[in-house]
């Protein structure tokens, strides 16, 4: 969000996150924007003021809330670890009520709207509209119509107390961006093998694959193939999918050159966590390919040394191009 807003011309004073591993990458790529390592549940209003210099009732102030979305994701995974973060919208709300910024932006997975009572979204909108007199607009937007080559649907809310004509950014239907527009040798991504480590800032690093996974992807048809191509192989078929060839067909699949990529998640560099197989090469996406499909520029420098941490930072991010569209709408 910070990078996209800055590109649009908005001064981003700070970003708040509880994860210290984000700090170096955040501040290096966004000079002048401060990384505040804090638990939003414990951060006080005075601490935020002292760190950023913001003040109450500032018509030009924007608050952006992008709380962790794992709990509200439709992906069927264990939610126990993400339970603590499911009510962060309410914690964000306290800061909105106190500072009353001119504008408020919220971005999250569609699940936060589908379960709006449980997620506190209903109450959040009610407070904005009834108590604080904000104009609120919200919808599920697909980032593929906002310059991002992904089929990535996101709940997006914009609210303002100073501009009652506020609206969401309009989709650009002139071109649907696809995978081949962003990665491939013609986009300066040389061919590599699974397990390749790129020690340069480019980080065209691909995770290693087990012997069986190398066999699986080598048998998977190029340009959009699924695991059906090795489903009859008793040594390669996975127990959970026996007799369930039509369940979760994206898992272990290859991406298609001429379609938008699937949603880039925190495990996009893993073959077994979605349709993250390279369209042609026998490997999963590299770190830089995932970042590029998220619309980070190729010179964006991910400072962490951990492949898993970098993948998490990339997958958790709001695509900068989508953030740019939102920022331009505010301007």
Catalytic residue numbers, as ranges: 69
Burial of 230 (0-12, 13-18, 19+ CB in 10 A): buried
CB atoms within 10 A of CB 81: 10
Structure tokens at 61: 């102030």
Please state the length of the chain.
331
Structure tokens at 311: 């993948």
181, 179, 177, 202: which is closest to 192 by C-alpha? Answer: 202
d(CA 31, CA 42) in angstroms, rounded, equals: 26
For the chain, what is the radius of gyration of the CA atoms? Answer: 21
3-state secondary structure of 193: coil
Q: Quick check: 279 and 267 in contact, CB under 8 A? A: no
DSSP structure string for 230-286: GTT-TTTS-GGGTT-TTSSTTTTPBP-TTSPBPP--TTTT-GGGSS-B-SSSSSB--
Pairing type for strands 153-160 and 135-142 reads antiparallel
Cα→Cα distances 240→127, 175, 248, 252, Å: 45, 38, 11, 13
153, 149, 152, 184: which is closest to 286 by C-alpha? Answer: 184
Structure tokens at 241: 């999918």
Which residue shows structure tokens 């609206």?
167
d(CA 278, CA 159) in angstroms, rounded, equals: 39
Sign of the alpha-carbon dihedral angle for 40, 67, 181, 142: negative
Residues forming beta bridges with residue 64, ordered by sequence position: 105
């Amino acid at each position: 969000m910070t990078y996209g807003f800055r590109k649009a011309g908005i001064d981003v004073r700070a970003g708040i996150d509880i994860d210290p591993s984000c700090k170096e990458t955040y501040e290096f790529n966004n000079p002048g924007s401060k990384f505040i390592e804090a638990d939003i549940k414990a951060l006080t209003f005075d601490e935020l003021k002292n760190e950023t210099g913001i003040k109450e009732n500032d018509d030009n102030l924007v608050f952006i809330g992008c709380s962790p979305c794992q709990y509200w994701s439709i992906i069927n995974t264990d939610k126990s670890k993400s339970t603590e973060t499911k009510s962060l919208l309410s914690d964000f709300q306290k800061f909105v009520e106190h500072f009353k910024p001119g504008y408020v932006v919220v971005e999250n997975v569609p699940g936060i709207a589908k379960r709006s009572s449980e997620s506190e979204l209903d109450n959040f909108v009610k407070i904005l509209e009834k108590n604080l007199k904000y104009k609120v607009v919200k919808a599920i937007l697909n980032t593929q119509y906002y310059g991002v080559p992904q089929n990535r649907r996101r709940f997006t809310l914009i609210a303002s107390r100073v501009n009652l004509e506020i609206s969401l950014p309009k989709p650009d239907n002139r071109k649907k961006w696809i995978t081949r527009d962003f990665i491939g040798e013609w986009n300066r991504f040389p061919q590599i093998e699974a397990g390749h480590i790129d020690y340069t800032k480019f980080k065209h690093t691909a995770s290693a694959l087990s012997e069986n996974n190398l066999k699986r992807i080598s048998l998977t048809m190029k340009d959009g193939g699924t695991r059906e191509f090795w489903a009859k192989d008793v040594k390669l078929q996975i127990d959970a999918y026996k007799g369930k060839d039509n369940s979760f067909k994206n898992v272990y699949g290859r991406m298609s050159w001429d379609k938008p990529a699937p949603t880039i998640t925190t495990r996009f560099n893993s073959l077994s966590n979605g349709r993250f197989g390279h369209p042609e090469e026998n490997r999963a996406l590299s770190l830089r390919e995932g970042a590029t499909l998220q619309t980070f520029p190729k010179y964006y420098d991910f400072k962490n040394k951990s492949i898993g941490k970098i993948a998490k930072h990339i997958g958790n991010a709001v695509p900068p191009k989508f953030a740019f569209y939102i920022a331009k709408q505010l301007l």
